[in-house]
A and B are shown apart, each in its own frame.
Chain A
Amino acid sequence: MAEQPSNAGPAHTRLWVALFTAAALACAGLWAWAAHALWHSTVPAGLKLPYVDPRSFFSAHFLARSASYERFLDIDAVLREVVLIVVLALYARRGHRLMRESAAGPIGTGMLLGMLGFAVLWLAELPFGLAGVWWERRHGVSHQGYVAAVIEGFVGLGGRFLFVSFALLLAMGLARMIGRLWWVAAAPLFTGLALLSTFLSIYLIPNTRTLRDPATAADVRRLARAEGIPGTRAEVQDVHRYTTAPNAESVGFGPTRRLILWDTLLDGRFSRREIAVVSAHELGHLAHHHPLRRVGWLALFLIPATALIALLTRGRGGLARPEAVPVALFVFVVLQLLTLPLWNIVSRHDEAEADWSALKATHDPAGAQALFRHLATTSLADPNPDGWAYVIYADHPTIVQRLAMVEAWQTRRAR
């Protein structure tokens, strides 16, 4: 009997394509749903920010000076990133030659190449970093010495070496164990580590001490209750040796949740009302679980990023091989740079929610306005930066936007 031509092969392939497409669509849907859930904010959806003229809050001299100050730093940063990409591209192309400097196995050699990649980056960035220090010193924003800046950067490089070694140990280990699909396991693994790091971050911040000032401590207790997170502890970080810029941050979650106030905020330049607004803002981050949400966004970034790294390193035999590490480093850093505007959108979104939360907790729009003006003048922050700089570098709303939000809150309250 003559054999019938079989249609099983193409049908089988079509089935797989359909299944793959369905799975990809499901994953994309899941990704979009998660992004939508993370995007949720307590800032009223239809809130329109009124126009605020910066000249009504700041002198013409300050506006000109701050614009000049930030423009230099922005251009310095852009140039640094251009150089960084060029250097990394060269390293991706030629870095594998440094394998001859290793007597370690594939993973150890991969670690060496990863660390040397960061070392080359540090060397390339150094002139731009020193230019930034010079500019900040010139404007009185920082009094850090050049040698101290270099040494601090060099020592900090050790932390980056440790990070990249650990990351490569995991990624290359997975690539050697499970092959091309290593990224499927790596993304959740790195997310888990980021979660752990967020949980433990309070223990990783140097030079912290308990907040002792009774008035500020009482305000923090009151505001924490108002934000719905009573019992949140506040600590002070000593940074005055390096900078005069004021700042605060919120870290951790659950039992490690902390409000950190820089000692430059408590040196007498800021009023009690202004410090209360800062505290409420940071407590707002904690109340709305922003540290955890940042981990969520990281997970959404890592899934496509690791997949892309896995794809683009195939030409060098995949991440199981050390010669692929320079390429992986290039892809990772370029992805970070390309997605920086997106990260900034997310960050500004969270900051706006924290501002809104602070206004609700303090009921002190005058204090908030005074704070934002004061922050701008002490940090020499341009209240209304250039559009391109805002898109690429602004991870907070501009001072003008923050002042506008205060006005919007007052308008709503008056209704």
Chain B
Amino acid sequence: MSEHPIRLVLEDDLERARFTVLLRWLLAIPHYLWLIVWSVAVIFAVIASWFATLVRGRTPDALHRFLAAYVKYATQLYGYLYLAANPYPSFDGGDGYPIDLVIAGPAPQSRWKVAFRVILVIPASVFATTLVGLPGWSTSGGTRGKTSSLGFTRLPDLVLLAAVLGWFAVLARGRMPRGLRDLIAYGISYGAQVWGYALLLTDRYPNSDPQAALADIPVRHDPAWLEVDGVLERSRLTVFFRALLAIPHFVWLLLWGILVFLAAIANWFAVLFTGRVPEALGRFLSAYLRYQFHVYGFLYLLANPFPGFVGAAGSYPLEAVLATPGRQRRWTVLLRVVLGFPAMALTSAFGAVLSAAALLGWFASLATGRMPLGLRNAGMLALRYQLQTTAYLMVLYDAYPYSGPALRGEPADEEPPSAQAISAFG
């Protein structure tokens, strides 16, 4: 498939100025005002663009340039606010900002897709809401959500939470953790594609695949990883009843989970005193993790077949690949629950992404018999983070969960604990 007409370009070195980070949301006040003014103009421009595109089958050049500049500017501003870039952005959405967009010129568009754009954009907007929020949308509402007069800044979902965690990390270290930066960049990239689609810059549907959002995906050697086969075909019958079919597994997960809870406590004590996971406990906890993620893979439509009940390695298309636990630093073991709070918060936000991907995938699979690759990979990112968080909290490993899109390298089984892994907030 050809490249998406709206692509993110990221040339950021992760270095941040602590002082501007501290005051970032205040420093951006002039931009808020400018964004509001520009947004008013965009409302009229997009209405004109809709009529023109509907009649001509192509957006007029001037309108396309104007709307593209607006989307670029908003992307740069979000990048600045969410700490995905360091320098203060310009007010014209010009080229050269460390987080920027490349937007292709006007191309012929299907008139049907233009006519019904407002409806067609709804599924993408729902998904974007879980990542970055959209004007006028709120998944959390009430005390957490904030909407400006034009509804443009706003929703504390995955990206905002990543930015808040990044804010603390930057103030402490002067560097943005790459996992958080890449996660934010993914969210911003998807949001920009949704806006580009809504504003008629393209009729290509937004791509939710995290692997496709960034040009440079790191290779990771994490001890806990999630792999899945390439099969996207889904049985409509089992998709329709998926949540109900998983009920026996929920019961078994619950029963097994009681023992796992006790085993995890025993494991915590064992690692605290010996620095190592006892072999039998490691096997027991790993088997449960494998089983748990087989079930989640089935439930969230990331894999098709009904899973078995024992968590056997290699028995399911979606596999939690778990390295042999190595030595761990005892102070991180002692403080594991406290250290795990940021990851738990992020896991919770990833949960919304996972649910949205599954819900949209449910409709898509029923309609086409296939799970869209983008949604599958977005779900995989969310579930991988959940796996790594669970393994971290079970004290199987002390590698901190990594939140950004990544490729898998072979894990080093006896790798000594790295300071980067422990403190990176992934």
CB atoms of A108 and B309 under 8 A apart: yes
CB atoms of B235 and A101 under 8 A apart: yes
Q: Which of the segments B244-252, B264-272, B357-365 contacts the partner chain?
A: B244-252
B245, B307, B309, B316: which contacts A115 (Cβ < 8 A)? B245
User: In the assembled complex, which residues on chain A have CB atoms less than 8 Å from the CB atom of B315?
Assistant: 103
Q: With an 8 A cutoff between CB atoms, is B139 at the interface?
A: no
User: In the assembled complex, which residues on chain A have CB atoms less than 8 Å from the CB atom of B247?
Assistant: 158, 161-162, 165
* Closest residue on chain A to residue B235 by CB atoms: A101
Q: With an 8 A cutoff between CB atoms, is A119 at the interface?
A: yes
* Closest residue on chain A to residue B245 by CB atoms: A115
CA distance A254 to B172 in the complex (A): 66
User: In the assembled complex, which residues on chain B have CB atoms less than 8 Å from the CB atom of A98?
Assistant: 235, 237-238
* Closest residue on chain B to residue A168 by CB atoms: B248
CB atoms of B316 and A103 under 8 A apart: yes
CB atoms of B245 and A102 under 8 A apart: no
B-facing residues in A80-127 (Cβ within 8 Å)? 98, 100-105, 107-109, 111-112, 115-116, 119-120
A-facing residues in B305-345 (Cβ within 8 Å)? 305-310, 315-317
**Total CB contacts across the A-B interface at under 8 A:** 68
* Closest residue on chain B to residue A107 by CB atoms: B309
User: In the assembled complex, which residues on chain A have CB atoms less than 8 Å from the CB atom of B316?
Assistant: 103
Q: With an 8 A cutoff between CB atoms, is A408 at the interface?
A: no
Q: With an 8 A cutoff between CB atoms, is B44 at the interface?
A: no
Contact flag A116-B317 (CB < 8 Å), given A103-B307, A108-B309, A161-B248: no
B240, B244, B310: which contacts A161 (Cβ < 8 A)? B244
User: In the assembled complex, which residues on chain B have CB atoms less than 8 Å from the CB atom of A101?
Assistant: 235, 237-238, 304-306
Q: With an 8 A cutoff between CB atoms, is A150 at the interface?
A: no
Contact with A along B241-283 (1 / 0, CB 8 A): 1001101100100000000000000000000000000000000
CA distance A198 to B190 in the complex (A): 55
Instruction: Name the distance in Å between A388's Cβ and chain B's nearest Cβ.
Output: 35
CA distance A120 to B304 in the complex (A): 18
CB atoms of A109 and B306 under 8 A apart: yes
The interface centre, meaning the residue of A98, A104, A107, A116 with most chain B CB atoms within 10 A of its CB, is A104
User: In the assembled complex, which residues on chain B have CB atoms less than 8 Å from the CB atom of A104?
Assistant: 305-309
CA distance A119 to B246 in the complex (A): 13
* Closest residue on chain B to residue A120 by CB atoms: B237
CA distance A391 to B312 in the complex (A): 52
* Closest residue on chain B to residue A119 by CB atoms: B241
Instruction: Name the distance in Å between A60's Cβ and chain B's nearest Cβ.
Output: 48
CA distance A33 to B327 in the complex (A): 70
Contact flag A111-B317 (CB < 8 Å), given A101-B304, A116-B237: no
CA distance A181 to B57 in the complex (A): 73
A103, A115, A161: which contacts B305 (Cβ < 8 A)? A103
User: In the assembled complex, which residues on chain B have CB atoms less than 8 Å from the CB atom of A345?
Assistant: none
Q: With an 8 A cutoff between CB atoms, is A157 at the interface?
A: yes
CA distance A144 to B245 in the complex (A): 26
Contact flag A165-B248 (CB < 8 Å), given A101-B235, A119-B241: yes
CA distance A154 to B310 in the complex (A): 28
User: In the assembled complex, which residues on chain A have CB atoms less than 8 Å from the CB atom of B245?
Assistant: 112, 115-116, 119, 161
Instruction: Name the distance in Å between B64's Cβ and chain A's nearest Cβ.
Output: 43
CB atoms of B308 and A116 under 8 A apart: no
User: In the assembled complex, which residues on chain B have CB atoms less than 8 Å from the CB atom of A166?
Assistant: 248
CB atoms of A112 and B244 under 8 A apart: no
The interface centre, meaning the residue of B306, B315, B316 with most chain A CB atoms within 10 A of its CB, is B306
CA distance A107 to B307 in the complex (A): 11
User: In the assembled complex, which residues on chain B have CB atoms less than 8 Å from the CB atom of A112?
Assistant: 238, 245, 306
CB atoms of A162 and B237 under 8 A apart: no
* Closest residue on chain A to residue B305 by CB atoms: A103
Contact flag A102-B241 (CB < 8 Å), given A161-B247, A162-B247, A165-B247: no
CA distance A228 to B301 in the complex (A): 57
CB atoms of A115 and B317 under 8 A apart: no
Contact flag A103-B238 (CB < 8 Å), given A119-B244, A157-B244, A165-B248: no
Contact with B along A147-184 (1 / 0, CB 8 A): 00000001001100110011000000000000000000
9 additional A-B residue pairs with CB within 8 Å, beyond A112-B306, A116-B238, A157-B244: A98-B235, A103-B308, A103-B316, A112-B238, A115-B244, A116-B245, A154-B244, A161-B244, A162-B251
Interface on B for A, CB 8 Å cutoff?
Answer: 235, 237-238, 240-241, 244-245, 247-248, 251, 294, 304-310, 315-317
8 A-B pairs with CB atoms under 8 Å apart are A98-B235, A101-B305, A103-B315, A104-B308, A105-B310, A112-B245, A157-B244, A162-B248
